[in-house]
Amino acid sequence: CLRSLFIFAVVASLVNLGFSGAPTKCFVTSVKNNSGVTPAGLCGAWDKESDGGLFTSPNYPEKYPPDQECIYIIEASPRQCIDLYFDEKYAIEPSWECKFDHIEVRDGPFSFSPIIGRYCGQESPTYVKSSGRYLWIKFVADGELEAIGFSARYNFTQGKICEFEMSGPEGIVESIMVMKEGKALQTEAVDCRWFIRAPPGSKIYLRFLDYEMQNSNECKRNFVAVYDGSSSVEHLKNKFCSTVANDVMLLTSLGVIRMWADETSRRSRFRILFTTFHEPPCEGDSFFCHSNMCINHTLVCNGIQNCVYPWDENGCKGKYKHFMCMLTSYYFCTFDTFDQDKDL
Ligand SMILES: *[C@@H]1O[C@H](CO)[C@@H](O)[C@H](O)[C@H]1NC(C)=O
Ligand SMILES: *[C@@H]1O[C@H](CO)[C@@H](O)[C@H](O)[C@H]1NC(C)=O
Ligand SMILES: *[C@@H]1O[C@H](CO)[C@@H](O)[C@H](O)[C@H]1NC(C)=O
**62 and 42 within one domain:** yes
Mean per-residue pLDDT, 184-195: 87
Whole-number Å distance between alpha carbons of 257 and 273: 11
Query: Are 48 and 141 within one domain?
Result: yes
| 222, 260 Cβ separation under 8 angstroms | yes
* CATH value at residue 211: 2.60.120.290
Residue 3: pLDDT band (50, 70, 90) is very low
pLDDT digits (tens, 9 = 90+) for 236-294: 999 999 999 999 999 999 999 999 998 899 999 999 999 999 999 999 999 999 889 99
Task: For residue 43, name the pLDDT band (cuts at 50, 70, 90).
Answer: low
Whether the predicted pLDDT of 117 surpasses 60: yes
* 214 and 298 part of one domain: yes
Instruction: Give the residue whose CA is nearest to atom 8 of ligand 3.
Output: 296
151 ligand 1 Cβ < 6 A: yes
How many helices and strands in the chain, by DSSP H and E? Answer: 1, 22
In a 10 Å sphere around its CB, with 0-12 CB exposed, 13-18 middle and 19+ buried, how is residue 177 labelled?
buried
pLDDT for res 318: 57
Using the 3D structure, point to which of 158, 176, 191 is the last residue of a domain: 158
How confident is the model at residue 8, as a pLDDT? 37
Distance 84 CA to ligand 2 centre (A): 9
Residue 24 contacts by C-beta under 8 Å, 6 or more apart in sequence?
158, 161, 163
Ligand 1 centroid from CA 35, angstroms: 6
Residue nearest to atom 11 of ligand 3 (CA): 296
| Residue 149 Cβ contacting ligand 3 at under 6 Å | no
| Number of structural domains found in the chain | 2
Q: Could you say which of 158, 174, 208 is where a domain stops?
A: 158
The reply to whether 236 and 335 lie within a common domain is yes
**What is the full DSSP assignment across 151-196?**
EEEEEEEE----EEEEESSEEEEETHHHHHTTSS-TTS-EEEEEEE
Going from the Cα of 80 to the center of ligand 2, the distance in angstroms, rounded, reads 14
Mean residue pLDDT of the chain comes to 79
Task: Write down which residue in 110, 127, 158 finishes a domain.
Answer: 158
Single-letter code of the amino acid located at 193: R
Atom of ligand 1 nearest to the CA of 35: 1
In this prediction the pTM is 0.56
SS3 263: helix
pLDDT in tens, 93-112: 999 999 999 999 998 888 88
230 lines ligand 1 (CB under 6 A): no
Instruction: Give the range among 114-118, 131-135, 205-209, 305-309 with minimum mean pLDDT.
Output: 131-135
Residues flanking ligand 2, CB < 6 Å: 83, 85, 153, 155, 157
| Dist. CA 155 → ligand 2 center (Å) | 6
Peptide bond into 65 cis (omega under 30): no
The ligand minimizing its distance to the Cα of 36 is: 1
pLDDT in tens, 141-171: 988 888 999 998 888 887 667 899 999 999 9
Among residues 49, 51, 47, 50, which one has the least CA distance to residue 37?
47
Degrees, nearest 5: CA angle 279-280-285: 105
Range of the domain at 252: 163-340
Judged against a pLDDT cut of 60, whether residue 200 lies above it is answered with yes
